Amino acid sequence: MRLKVILPQLDAGGKTIAIINKEDAEELGVYPLDRIVLKKGSRCITVIVNITNKFVKRGEIVVYEEVREMLSLKNGNYLTATPRGELISKQYIKKKVLGKSLGYKEFKAISLDVMERDLNDLELASFITALTINGMSLNENVAMTKVMADMSDKLQFPGIVADKHSIGGVPGDKTSLLVVPIAAAAGLTVPKTSSRAITDPAGTADRMEVLAPVDLGREEMKKVVKKTMGCLVWGGSVELAPVDDLFIQIERPLSLDPLLIPSVISKKKVVGAMSVVIDIPEGLYAKVKTGYEFRKMSRMFMHTGKKLGIRVKCVKTSAEQPVGYALGPSLEAREALQSLINIETAPYDLIQKVTRIAGEMLKINRMGDEKTVVKIWKSGIAEKKMRQIIEAQGGDPMIMPEDIEIGKYSMPIRSVKSGIVKAMNNKILVYVAKAAGAPKDKAAGILLNKKLGSRVRKNDILFTIYAQKSHKFRLASRIAKKEKIFEMR
């Protein structure tokens, strides 16, 4: 069917979508979200079809920016539309829905069609849900990890390449900002990529961005690592797992995470890591709630890593309260930098976590242990390494904690009674920090005064809210006063 192109000058979030008239759709025998092939000259692409009976006339086709670009279309151009047969990947998704296992070939077909944007949102959501409910076997995790790794260009770094990863779930976790320079100072190559915040007030990339640019390309990242043996860059701009980035666009809105293991291990494979330490926080509100779940997940990580030639060590950490005292990019970067400069000023739990994770990284590579970590940290070599990394990424190597600006609006939240802190509600803390503007407003967040086990007297400051914008400040303060965050005994 020949159709005349109408360009609305809108994009479809990367998807290849076209809208046609209802009569034309019936003529083609297609329903909403079916696929049609559009051909112009020698070029042809598959698009997902939307149908209207009002805004697009018969004989017309509205295409969004992605399709316009791929076919170099102009308003009024003509193209040919034909229905596309059933995708084989759709049958594989159905197979998983029906409870059967998938292999490399099938995950590959699905992933390729995801990259081509040929599968629609419904099919992808169905796939992610089926993976969640029916689970991923060891063989499936290995197959999908290989698919993801094979679809990415490998990066090569000199030396003993080691990495760490946290599966998340603890607010205020600035561990990587200390672990990377310490491990690099100890002689490992640590090409660390990390994500921005999704549900938290800050991700590692957001924290590091306060100290130096993090959106480096592949070549820039290579240069930084070659020069300093480490880096702390945003994973998004390095494109370690392009297909995983597309799966995440489906997983995030559903709050489902069935591809955790392939997602983590494939990226480590792509940066050439020989070993990786996985931090698995355990707690009531974390992804892992029991020792049984920890052992199950940690076995899956280890075995999948082994099949990919990566030694994996999983470490169980606590998710019951934030790490350290700061929440929000600037406050956390300041706390991390201060702690790195002077271990005496570092929060106890941050020291524990950093020495544990970095210690495991050294042990697995027979390059030391927790004592080595503390020695390097105290010696000032780690701080120096961090400043080299900051400089190599384009930041100011002389930056001091007090140079980091904090939100000009602040309000202390005081205790209405005395006691000892028995529990704190991470979820509401995060909610308040985000209401205050974090992570978008880097200088916004929360500074805790009390943590679990702290003795509190009436009117003591429990925490202070910081914000850059007055309306967010008012909102955060209102929530903080209303909600119960600290539980005393």
Write out the catalytic residue numbers. 257
Answer yes or no: are the C-beta atoms of 127 and 109 closer than 8 Å. Answer: no
Q: What is the closest distance, in whole angstroms, from the C-beta atom of residue 467 to a second copy in the complex?
A: 13
Q: What is the closest distance, in whole angstroms, from the C-beta atom of residue 428 to a second copy in the complex?
A: 14
Given the structure tokens 């140079």, which residue do they identify?
403
Selected from 41, 158, 217, 253, the binder of a second copy by CB under 8 A is 253
Footprint on residues 53-82 left by a second copy (CB under 8 A): 54-56, 62, 65
Q: Is 443 in the site for a second copy (CB under 8 A)?
A: no
Binding mask 393-412 for a second copy (x = CB under 8 A): --------------------
Q: Cα 94 to the chain's mean position, in Å?
A: 28
Output 7-13 pairs: Cβ under 8 A, ≥24 positions apart.
7/62, 7/63, 7/68, 7/73, 7/74, 7/75, 8/62, 8/64, 9/65, 10/64, 10/65, 11/64, 11/65, 11/66, 12/64, 12/65, 12/66
Q: What is the closest distance, in whole angstroms, from the C-beta atom of residue 132 to a second copy in the complex?
A: 6
Q: Is 33 in the site for a second copy (CB under 8 A)?
A: yes
Q: Count CA atoms closer than 13 A to 222's CA, side-chain side.
A: 10
DSSP 6-58: E--S---TT--EEEEEHHHHHHHT--TT-EEEEEETTEEEEEEEEEESSSS-T
β-strand partners of 82:
37
Q: Is 369 in the site for a second copy (CB under 8 A)?
A: no
Q: What is the closest distance, in whole angstroms, from the C-beta atom of residue 375 to a second copy in the complex?
A: 42
Q: Is 8 in the site for a second copy (CB under 8 A)?
A: yes
Binding mask 93-132 for a second copy (x = CB under 8 A): -x--x-x--------------------xxxxxxx-xxx-x
Give dist(CA 60, CA 79) in Å, integer.
10
Q: Is 2 in the site for a second copy (CB under 8 A)?
A: no
Q: What is the closest distance, in whole angstroms, from the C-beta atom of residue 62 to a second copy in the complex?
A: 7
Given the structure tokens 């002689």, which residue do they identify?
187
Q: Is 215 in the site for a second copy (CB under 8 A)?
A: no
Residue 479, SS3 per DSSP: helix
What residues make contact with a second copy under the rule CB under 8 A? 8-13, 19, 26-27, 29, 31-34, 50-52, 54-56, 62, 65, 94, 97, 99, 120-126, 128-130, 132-134, 198, 249-250, 252-256, 434, 440
